[in-house]
Amino acid sequence: MLRGMLVGLVGEKGKRSVKAWLSGLRGWVARRFHRYDAGALKSQLKKMGVSDTDTLLVHGNFEANSGFRGTPSDLVEAFIDLVGHKGNLIMMSIPFRGSAYDYLEKNKPFYLNRTISMMGLMTEMLRRRPGTLRSLHPTHPVLAFGKDSRWIVEDHDKCLFPCGVGTPFDKLRQLKGKILFFDVGFGAITFFHFVEDLIKGKLPFPVYEEKLFSVSVVDGKGECRQVQTYAFTRGISRDTAKVEQELRRQGKIGVGRVGNSRVLLVSAEDVVSVMIDMVDHGNWPYGSVG
């Protein structure tokens, strides 16, 4: 309604000008009142419970108006400086948008060193950084930097279920890892799929499509091989907001702010225990079940 009124008053061209002006104003406010640097970010995360020995899965978005003084690469370096020397930094590098099934149907080869991440600038900067390792999986490749990075990414290509047992998500749990949401909502949680795999026997619908895909992948040495994987069932409405609500109700999710950036922090084990408890009590983390 407001959009229609705005277009009616100033026209389409005028609306673009107003939007550009508002964007510039937000940027000025962020630079003037919400500026923060890598030191302030690390200080805030430490206050929230992140230690330098943690394994941290970061879902992040570089916002121009966040107030952060630096580039996406500088932001990645801040996370590496925080946990990448005594612990581990993990990010997703999924190479598609939409459903994994539809992506696999296109039969695109996956190149470990060349296929770009579609998960935002931060992930692509980490992917390109020397010292970062990437798991060899065509739909859910994981980036890892740190002392356990080689173990975290190894053998992902041998896992038929992209986020299940034996994958980097399983290893995140074994390392008692934490999940950080930096300027993104809880809905970005890929770890949901790991728990979903754990409880698939309790769910009244199949978690995976029946078709087993065989995908051409090219490893770091340039050698091509076939990797088999299942895709998650299409049309399932995963209600991550319900999981977040329950975590908040139980006081198991940390909420913080630095500059104009919003931060959420939760342990992987708490996500597992809360989701299992929800399912056991019929509080399904899905839009509709049955």
DSSP 66-110: S-BSS-HHHHHHHHHHHHTTTSEEEEE----SS-HHHHHHTT--E
Q: Helix, strand or coil for residue 234?
A: coil
pLDDT of residue 100: 97
Does a structural domain hold residue 130?
A: yes
The amino acid occupying position 137 is H
Q: Do residue 20 and residue 153 come from a single domain?
A: no
Supply the Cα-derived Rg of the chain in whole angstroms: 20
Using an 8 Å Cβ cutoff, are 266 and 247 in contact? yes
pLDDT of residue 34: 72
The interaxial angle of helices 38-47 and 72-83, nearest 10 deg, is 40
pLDDT of residue 187: 96
pLDDT of residue 14: 60
Does a structural domain hold residue 286?
A: no
Q: Do residue 130 and residue 244 come from a single domain?
A: yes
Does a structural domain hold residue 46?
A: yes
Q: Do residue 118 and residue 250 come from a single domain?
A: yes
The stretches in the chain having pLDDT less than 70 are 1-33, 288-290
pLDDT, tens digit (0-9, with 9 covering 90-100), for 178-237: 999 999 999 999 999 999 999 999 999 999 999 999 999 999 999 999 999 999 999 999
Q: Do residue 8 and residue 77 come from a single domain?
A: no
Using an 8 Å Cβ cutoff, are 213 and 229 in contact? yes
User: Tokens 């500088």 correspond to what residue?
Assistant: 74
**Distance separating alpha carbons of residues 244 and 266, to the nearest angstrom:** 10
pLDDT of residue 59: 98
Using an 8 Å Cβ cutoff, are 189 and 140 in contact? no
Q: Do residue 96 and residue 228 come from a single domain?
A: yes
Structural domain tally of the chain? 2
Does a structural domain hold residue 3?
A: yes
pLDDT of residue 64: 83
**Angle (nearest 5°) at CA 152 between 130 and 244:** 105
**DSSP H stretches of helix in 84-120:** 100-105
Using an 8 Å Cβ cutoff, are 215 and 229 in contact? yes
**Distance separating alpha carbons of residues 150 and 144, to the nearest angstrom:** 8
Which secondary-structure segment (H or E) carries 157?
none
Using an 8 Å Cβ cutoff, are 84 and 146 in contact? yes
Q: Do residue 148 and residue 108 come from a single domain?
A: yes
**Residue range of the domain that includes 22:** 1-33
**CB-side neighbour CA atoms (13 Å) of 230:** 16
Q: Do residue 56 and residue 183 come from a single domain?
A: yes
pLDDT of residue 27: 47
Exposed (0-12), middle (13-18) or buried (19+): which is 261, by Cβ within 10 Å?
buried
Using an 8 Å Cβ cutoff, are 56 and 177 in contact? yes
Using an 8 Å Cβ cutoff, are 63 and 71 in contact? no
Q: Do residue 61 and residue 4 come from a single domain?
A: no
pLDDT of residue 65: 87
DSSP β-bridge partners for residue 216:
226
Q: Do residue 74 and residue 212 come from a single domain?
A: yes
Enter the tokens of residue 112.
């470990």
